[in-house]
Amino acid sequence: MNKKEAEKSFEEIKRHLIETEEDLRKTGIYAVDIQFLLGILVLVGLGLTVFLLGKTLYNLIWIVWTCILIVGFFFGYRLAKRIPLMTGVTSFAGKLIGMVWLGITISVTLVMFIVWYSGYTPYLESFIALLVGVGFFVEAFVSWKEFLIAAILCWIGALVDGFFPDVTNLVFAFLIFVTMIVPGIVVKIRFRGKEV
């Protein structure tokens, strides 16, 4: 092989790398569906939590959240399994992000059980916001940089939740709307017709 051939091969490799990287980034369009679904479920959960708190039915709150986690996990898993079938490609980064969010979901589930055992605390949302912030932080570095804003918002929200427990549900609902529902809509609009 001569230099010219080597250069040509390098160019081919570079082209394929750039194209594959772009396609892998685009698989995030489908992953946003999961976030959107979880966002809606959490907002429903918050609504029910506020309702049950008003009726002083504290013991039912953990049941609501356990149901939401089960439903979220089931449909989230189904949506995640759909991604490689629709795009034809699975990335290491996608797998990593999936595992980070799975870890966060398991952690939140365990927190729910602790809350069920020890009683409701207004700091619950603060703790969950911290965990969700970690998920967005990792995602920002392996997928879209914009998620860094979501991570920072979650951490600021966790602080606000911690210092002002009276408005915890309102702050948490705002966080979920801004970090999960809005990105879902933005990504869908931005990448309409540009799927892999």
Partner 1 sequence: MGDFNPAEVNKLIHAPIRLGIMTILNSAKKVNFIYLRKKLDVTDGNLSSHMEKLEKAGYVNVKKTFKDKKPNTVYSITEKGKKAFRIYLEHLEKILEES
Structure-token pair, residue 63: 């049941």
Window 7-46: residues binding partner 1 (CB under 8 A): 7, 9-10, 12-13, 16-17, 19-21, 23-24
Helices 147-163 and 168-176: crossing angle in degrees, nearest 10, is 170
Measuring CA to CA, which residue among 191, 156, 159 is closest to residue 30?
A: 191
Q: Are 34 and 97 in contact (CB under 8 A)?
A: no
Residue 99 binding partner 1, by CB under 8 A: no
* Residue 20 CA, distance from chain mean position: 23
Closest residue by Cα to residue 125 from 82, 81, 63, 65: 65
Which region among 3-11, 129-137, 165-173, 178-186 touches partner 1 (by CB under 8 A)?
Answer: 3-11
91 binds partner 1 (CB under 8 A): yes
Q: Of 45 and 94, which has the nearer Cβ to partner 1?
A: 94
- Report the distance separating Cα 68 and Cα 51, nearest Å: 16
CB of 97 to partner 1, least distance (A): 12
Among 56, 85, 193, 194, binds partner 1 (CB under 8 A): 85
* Using rule CB under 8 A, residue 107 touches partner 1: no
Catalog residues that contact partner 1 under the rule CB under 8 A.
1-3, 6-7, 9-10, 12-13, 16-17, 19-21, 23-24, 84-85, 87-92, 94-95, 196
